[in-house]
Amino acid sequence: MKNIAPADAAALETIETREWLESLDYVLRQGDKGRAIRLLEALRARARLAGLRLPYVATTPYINTIAPQEQVPYPGDRDIERRIKSLVRWNALAMVVRANRESDGIGGHISTYASSATLYEVAFNHFFRGKDAGRDADIIYFQGHASPGIYARGFLEGRISEEQLRNFRHELRPSGGLSSYPHPWLMPDYWEFPTVSMGLGPLMAIYQARYARYLSNRGLIEPANQKVWAFLGDGETDEPEALGSISLAAREKLDNLIFVINCNLQRLDGPVRGNGQIIQELEANFRGAGWNVIKVLWGSDWDEFLARDTDGLLVKRMAEVVDGEYQRYAVEDGAYLRKHFWGVDPRLLDMVRHLSDDDLKGLRVGGHDPIKVYNAYRAAVAHTGGPTVILARTIKGYGLGEAGEGKNITHQQKKMNETDLKTFRDRFGVPIPDDRIADAPFYRPAEGSSESQYLLERRHALGGFVPRRVVTAPALKPALGDVFDEFHKGTENRKASTTMVFVKMLAKMLRNEEIGKLVVPIVPDEARTFGMESLFRAVGIYSSIGQVYEPVDMATLLYYKEAKDGQILEEGITEAGSISSFIAAGTAYSTYGVNTIPFFIFYSMFGFQRVGDFIWAAADARVRGFLLGGTAGRTTLAGEGLQHQDGNSHTLALSVPTCRAYDPAYAYELAVIIEDGIRRMYGENEQAFYYITVMNEQYEMPPMPEGARDGIIKGLYQFKPAASKTGKRAQLIGSGAILNEVIKAQTLLIKYGVSADVWSATSYNELYRDAHRVERWNLLHPTEKPRVPYVTESLGSAPGVVVAASDYLKSQPDVLARWIGKPMVTLGTDGFGRSEDRGALRNFFEVNDRYVAAATLATLHREGHLGADVVGQAFKELEIDPEKVNPAHA
Ligand SMILES: Cc1ncc(C[n+]2csc(CCOP(=O)(O)OP(=O)(O)O)c2C)c(N)n1
Ligand SMILES: [Mg+2]
């Protein structure tokens, strides 16, 4: 083409392009898609051989994945469904508008559901299966900000009352209200999965889909056609958690998983990718990860243009417009579209010459077209071999018109005036008369009306209402004595760590007839760290395809055994993924009706600190199970240093209302706590989960003192009373590995004439909660005999000063000071950790036996029980440097 003038070259290229496309069309008309694919592959190979470097494309053209000729007709009554959808739209909008009129600033979201109404309604009418479908019942993660629409549908279905709608975001009203977002904690018969901390929903959904496979591969549930649906926002995909594990879903071939991403191209402040295309970016990510990607970009109105687009001009135009511009099209009128979208090429303009500006404005995008959405869902549900993501293009605030359709302020729109309401009503044909519109009244079609009958019939056919949370798992009545009894005896001269003890308990639980199968050990690539490798062989590591290789350590006793019915969830290095498995396992009693008992063991610093928001969501989801913070304690974990040494997690755990946190020192304490936990959570249906720190420091485990059980659970018991009750008196409290330092201090103090009792504090958090519970009762019942907190009952009348030491923040024991009623000093590990050995660390953080003794003597002196000379002498002997650097700030 070298000698051809540029204009001719362009013309020739056009002809050539057309010829090639016609050839392809010809092959396609023969109806053989395989042939077309082979042809294109052959072309690509030839081009590659000729040295052509085709640019890498992870994306497909900016058009619908499902071609019109592949579609099936809509199975429902479009007319009735549109009317129903309009009413849902209206009520969703009205509940937010009214809530904000009543209480300015109460919030709520109109525009998210406005954009996703079709995505939900098609699913409600044709796909979502309810609990009556048994094992086929779907698991649905609703986009949190769309909840007004979900409630509004519940209202039409008759399962949510008008009063409840009025009480949206007023949960504390006497007649009860509706929570802002999906919170199973607040609406336990309705919501199943919390989603509104963005990014957590998609990750939890992936692990949920994987957990369903795990349960069925292990024979705990029947295989089924159940799907896990996760609805999320396009802006939400910027959260690392949202896309962080998509490759796992493909690797595990989770064809029971469907993501629906509502691509309204906007987030809260503005466009998600104003200068790019979020849909193409997501397509590349998901395709690259191995997902089946279905793009739903254009409504049916566009089919005819694409059919006439023989030169590929329209497809090219669609692909070059950036999201910021597409957003603009949603706001501007038809003339603007004609000029700016179609007007770039006369041939494009020609295509729409017969249409008015209003017609142009009326061309819908794919996510608002039920037929496109239906066909996408249908394909997703039928897809096998991997997960599917539907990228549905929608318009944020669809139908709000001037009040905020497609505008940057749309997300914040919560109020509408009479004119706005009228416009919305007219657009969707909602039967509310002019004289009532200003009040934004709710509207429910009469019982027996065609709309009401239709939607009830559809839900009936699909297994009942969704969402609905039910608990079908029967309470366990485990008799676990034989599992735990041996740990009450102590180790008799043998040293062990609480981590080793835990692993031994876990192994015994796994062998237990009643609960063995239900135990789910979860590790994020730390099994060897915690000495759990013996379990690999014993119960196997779960792998959906078994083990297709011979492991390198096959010849050894503890080889790395992967199996299809393996019990351990070895998650690899992902605490976020592991906690998602924990949540799936810990809520299986409601999701699947199976009481699985998860034990998720992790490096304690990478628990609450790293995935704290997931733990919060776990509590909201009413999770049960055990979190084990392994190799915990700022000074007990030697060597690892600043990032690993945890002195924080118990304080963080205190903030989670249903989390019971324990810092046990001895085997019997651990045994009592776990046995009691299983009984309470699974036998008595208490809504709680446990966080237990375990250590790797080895020492002899003593036998359980008589009568200690109750105190272990409540958080405090006397472990070792002073040998003599004479002389100066003190109460020393220790917990976790630091208890041993405290016991040594008890001996050190004898020399200075101090008789100290030693207490083990297994849970400062539980003591704190008990004290506040009692204090509150006293406050509310001023004329009745005051009750006494457990900690006061235990220590209030014990003689002498109190010194409490733990491997965690000083704030742990500090919070109890005012209930103890006597001078108290606390020692703890505030500050950054160091790479060192235990001895040096405990000296640095001032939590060893010498500091416990020094703190006791100093307090006795301040209280006037001990002379300055004795303290001075003791400080010398104990080698206490008063000018030592403060570890809290060093
Ligand atoms: C972790 C987290 N960060 C921030 C927010 C606040 N927030 C709520 S909605 C929203 C924008 C959502 O945009 P998108 O995901 O695109 O959803 P859309 O409403 O557009 O469907 C933000 C930032 C949140 N809920 N969670
Ligand atoms: Mg968005």
d(CA 371, CA 352): 23
Taking the CA of 111 as reference, the closest ligand is 1
Task: With cut-offs at 50, 70 and 90, classify the pLDDT of residue 859.
Answer: very high
Could you tell me the distance, in angstroms and rounded to a whole number, from the CA of residue 236 to the centre of ligand 2?
7
Interval 751-772 mean pLDDT: 98
The fraction of the chain above a pLDDT of 90, given in percent, is 92
Q: What is the pTM of this model?
A: 0.95
Per-residue tokens: 847 = 């939590």
- In this structure, the residue with its CA closest to atom 3 of ligand 1 is 198
Ligand 1 atom with minimal separation from the 199 CA = 1
Ligand 1 pocket test, candidate residues 118, 231, 267, 613, most atoms within 8 A of CB: 267
Ligand 1 atom with minimal separation from the 613 CA = 1
- In this structure, the residue with its CA closest to atom 13 of ligand 1 is 267
pLDDT at 2 over 70: no
Interval 381-385 mean pLDDT: 98
Could you tell me the distance, in angstroms and rounded to a whole number, from the CA of residue 42 to the centre of ligand 2?
40
- In this structure, the residue with its CA closest to atom 12 of ligand 1 is 267
Burial class, 8, CB count within 10 angstroms (exposed 0-12 / middle 13-18 / buried 19+): exposed
Task: With cut-offs at 50, 70 and 90, classify the pLDDT of residue 477.
Answer: confident
Ligand 1 pocket test, candidate residues 263, 268, 269, most atoms within 8 A of CB: 268
Taking the CA of 146 as reference, the closest ligand is 1
Interval 400-420 mean pLDDT: 87
- In this structure, the residue with its CA closest to atom 20 of ligand 1 is 267
| CB neighbour list of residue 755: distance below 8 Å, 6 or more residues apart | 722, 723, 724, 725, 726, 727, 728, 729, 730, 749
pLDDT at 40 over 80: yes
CA distances from 287 to 60, 64, 294 (A): 10, 15, 10
CA distances from 326 to 316, 399, 512, 537 (A): 14, 16, 61, 56
- Helix (H/G/I), strand (E/B), else coil: 25: helix
- In this structure, the residue with its CA closest to atom 7 of ligand 1 is 268
Could you tell me the distance, in angstroms and rounded to a whole number, from the CA of residue 282 to the centre of ligand 1?
17
Confirm if 116 and 367 have CB atoms less than 8 A apart: yes
pLDDT given at position 414: 85
Ligand 1 atom with minimal separation from the 267 CA = 13
Could you tell me the distance, in angstroms and rounded to a whole number, from the CA of residue 294 to the centre of ligand 2?
18
669-689 pLDDT, tens per residue? 999 999 999 999 999 999 999
d(CA 466, CA 121): 12
pLDDT given at position 643: 96
- In this structure, the residue with its CA closest to atom 10 of ligand 1 is 268
Could you tell me the distance, in angstroms and rounded to a whole number, from the CA of residue 232 to the centre of ligand 2?
8
- In this structure, the residue with its CA closest to atom 17 of ligand 1 is 233
Backbone angles phi, psi at 766, to 5 degrees: -70, -35
Ligand 1 atom with minimal separation from the 237 CA = 15
Per-residue tokens: 114 = 């406005």
Backbone angles phi, psi at 168, to 5 degrees: -60, 130
Taking the CA of 237 as reference, the closest ligand is 1
pLDDT at 408 over 90: no
Ligand 1 atom with minimal separation from the 268 CA = 11
Tally the residues of the chain: 890
pLDDT at 349 over 90: yes
Ligand 1 pocket test, candidate residues 232, 236, 410, most atoms within 8 A of CB: 236
Confirm if 232 and 258 have CB atoms less than 8 A apart: no
Ligand 1 atom with minimal separation from the 196 CA = 25
Angle made by CA atoms 680, 685, 686, in degrees to the nearest 5: 60
Q: Which residues pair with 603 in a beta bridge?
A: 630
pLDDT at 426 over 70: yes
Confirm if 229 and 140 have CB atoms less than 8 A apart: yes
186-222 pLDDT, tens per residue? 999 999 999 999 999 999 999 999 999 999 999 999 9
Residue 67: how many other CB atoms lie within 10 Å: 13
124-161 pLDDT, tens per residue? 999 999 999 999 999 999 999 999 999 999 999 999 99
User: What residues line ligand 1, using a CB cutoff of 6 Å?
Assistant: 112, 115, 145, 196-199, 233-236, 262, 264, 266-268, 272, 396, 411
HSE at residue 257, side-chain half, CA atoms within 13 A, is 32
Taking the CA of 112 as reference, the closest ligand is 1
Q: Which of 11-25, 566-580, 856-870 has the lowest mean pLDDT?
A: 11-25
Could you tell me the distance, in angstroms and rounded to a whole number, from the CA of residue 99 to the centre of ligand 1?
20
Q: Which residues pair with 258 in a beta bridge?
A: 229, 388
Ligand 1 atom with minimal separation from the 115 CA = 21
d(CA 503, CA 324): 55
User: Among candidates 323, 141, 111, which has minimal Cα distance to 242?
Assistant: 141
Burial class, 311, CB count within 10 angstroms (exposed 0-12 / middle 13-18 / buried 19+): middle
pLDDT at 834 over 70: yes
Could you tell me the distance, in angstroms and rounded to a whole number, from the CA of residue 397 to the centre of ligand 1?
14
Interval 594-600 mean pLDDT: 98
pLDDT at 32 over 70: yes
Confirm if 371 and 76 have CB atoms less than 8 A apart: no
pLDDT given at position 3: 66
Q: Where do we find the tokens 């490798």? A: 533
Bigger pLDDT: 834 vs 310: 834
Confirm if 207 and 577 have CB atoms less than 8 A apart: yes
Interval 403-423 mean pLDDT: 88
pLDDT at 557 over 80: yes
Confirm if 464 and 129 have CB atoms less than 8 A apart: no
261-306 pLDDT, tens per residue? 999 999 999 999 999 999 999 999 999 999 999 999 999 999 999 9
* pLDDT averaged over every residue in the chain: 96
Could you tell me the distance, in angstroms and rounded to a whole number, from the CA of residue 234 to the centre of ligand 2?
5
Ligand 1 atom with minimal separation from the 200 CA = 1
Burial class, 492, CB count within 10 angstroms (exposed 0-12 / middle 13-18 / buried 19+): exposed
pLDDT given at position 538: 95
- In this structure, the residue with its CA closest to atom 4 of ligand 1 is 198
Could you tell me the distance, in angstroms and rounded to a whole number, from the CA of residue 265 to the centre of ligand 2?
5
Could you tell me the distance, in angstroms and rounded to a whole number, from the CA of residue 556 to the centre of ligand 2?
53
- Residues measured by CB to lie within 5 Å of ligand 2, the ion: 233-235, 264, 266
pLDDT given at position 481: 79
HEC profile for 799-833? CCEEEEECCCCCHHHHCCHHHHCCCEEEECCCCCC
Could you tell me the distance, in angstroms and rounded to a whole number, from the CA of residue 272 to the centre of ligand 2?
7
Interval 734-758 mean pLDDT: 97
Ligand 1 atom with minimal separation from the 233 CA = 15
Confirm if 454 and 123 have CB atoms less than 8 A apart: no
Per-residue tokens: 707 = 């009568």
d(CA 508, CA 793): 36
Q: 174 preceded by cis ω (within 30°)?
A: no
Could you tell me the distance, in angstroms and rounded to a whole number, from the CA of residue 325 to the centre of ligand 2?
15
User: Among candidates 710, 764, 708, 767, which has minimal Cα distance to 736?
Assistant: 764
Could you tell me the distance, in angstroms and rounded to a whole number, from the CA of residue 111 to the centre of ligand 2?
9
Could you tell me the distance, in angstroms and rounded to a whole number, from the CA of residue 328 to the centre of ligand 2?
15
